[in-house]
Chains A and B, each alone.
Chain A
């Protein structure tokens, strides 16, 4: 029996396309506890969406294929569950908010019915009660005039309102885990803040755990209890927000932080970009996937995949720079200017 609510271990997911196998997820590990928010951050195509959709087994098979690993939910293995068995988990235990609320709501069905059908499926309620709860949920997510909204079609609502509907729908069955796949990317900046605020508020009120997927580190700083940085199908660094923002160890994390505007007084800092493009997952490179774009690339990086180094209980990073044999490097960012944690370095996990 695992002590975690959700435990993903060594997950491998591939897509079989006509051009060959795309290794979208290549050995991802993470855990999630009750009431916690985990943020998964990475560029587009790094496998973050695939990872969470695999938890709910929403990727169509074929073309997708879970090659290995395990997904334990309250100690129960989900990998071998059939589609029918998963239906009991979807919506009830996990629910999901998608990026584009315009295309994620059925255009020909009234908003209210889309919410109440999930309630009818998972809760012992009749139509009337389900409707009442749905209206309540619409009110809870801050929609003015929930009764009217219940009868509306999705296209008559604004983007922010639709995303609220999505959240109401996702939360209507009181799921243990909310998977939010870039919930604010398609929204205006002002609406983004509102939606994030709403999610934060709901988390505090209901104790739902959240896995938040984003490519925006700014979003993460407000929400996350823990952060995982994903690159080319792997988690390259993970830690508490303080670890990631102030003591980042992986050059990719430095790159991400460097490309993020900073509202503090350090106006002299220039925004930097990460050169190059992510590797093609048809043929992942032999060594570190980030090597070809890394300003600190060493010979070893091209030959061997870096092991995961423990910085602390919560903070891990997979980079050869941390190895004791590597030269000392001063990170360009963060407050902690020493890269290597003395006494721990070189410890291969």
Chain B
């Protein structure tokens, strides 16, 4: 086993999904369903095993940098194609490959009705998606991170638009791609700025650029503020925050396992990862941290209110993801990077669980996504029912489910930042519990409200789908136990300890144990109350809900899409229309055709030269010679 050293296995992690992508992508017309499913799930399982090995054998202390080759070397700028393995990236590797593997297994059953060629295309994209995300978290500098960043953007586009024959789905894919580009532009500018000021994009050079190790700082306060704001704008695009969040709910156009992958393991957590990775910069820019916290809080509240009135099972989950991401940004903005990473982790498990559960429901109902036409699914889908319940309890933050610990850590950090933030965050958490249990009760409780034909076909999903659900359900419970707050168990917060090499433990103001108990008790009590309210309100289904201007406002998602449509899309359309109707035919075509017309006119004028008479030609020759001779004699003298 001497061959399999640490770097070899680390390189295998991203290469395996890439291999799966190549095999499935190139061989999709020749492989059977079975072969495709085995190959893609197999590479994911191996990548997960490799990630686990790397995680256990991670050298303590300084991060391990594995340089594959020089990627860009221009003058003094040297950007290596290097991977950085430390506590943070190892943790993300485990989440991505682990959840990715389960989603692959689940997909093998969920997508079984596609033809072999489409099935292969789907899994090729899925593997490429995981590969991009692995590149993103393993990159040792912003440029490699950016390559992965763009890769996940591309794959999300391909997968959201997987059923591209439906124009609405293709439109949703376009929307996701374009919105991401806006953020990517800001990210790219931030990278250029960083290069211009420090000449390096490596993460390990960040402390040096900040001047914390005895040297003078290369970055001024303004540089840091500018770079962090631009990076944050990049993160809002990828992680669906105000103002670039509207693509995520529309991204539900993709197959349900893709939604699970986007929301849990890949893509949307990229922004959180990037900010946690550059936490040194952010800590040096307190103003930007406050902006991050405010945006996160606003997004959390906005998305939670929208989720209250959504009737599409996947849309509710999508808005809940936006809201939970807002929570994570709130934690980042409060300086609690560990809490944000912790919530990324717990959220990855329970959100993957909820999405896969909703996929199971949709599968059982033959494509129905409207929760008003569900209900009473408890008997026919027992495994989905129980696992979904666990997911809901986890996201609502009930002790001892994982969501409780991570959400509690975030609420505590918000409390330390400002009590106002805490109050709004707590309110949002109550809304979360309310809409999740509204969803749960409308889906599984009461009696079935769908068509008779659907009732006849109700069935529990196959093992390939329920097994990931059960595994994720167990993980959704236990994964929170790695971050038990100090007050409940001494030395319980192993996550912060584990990440302390990457994210310095802030020695900020501590709160007394009594306050902490009080906060926990308050949030738990209110969440339970909120669940009770949801239960009492929706246990008897009423088709007509009260209509008011507020509910209409929420039904229409705060009219954000309409506002964007009016403020950005329509003017652009008009501009494009003007260009098409005026600029292009008149000015561009005019210039091009004008050249032709001038040449044509001139050639008409000198056409008579070409008379076809030999004598004429000879005459011109003589005239020419005489001219040359006269020049010789009279001018050049």
Real complex partners, A and B? no
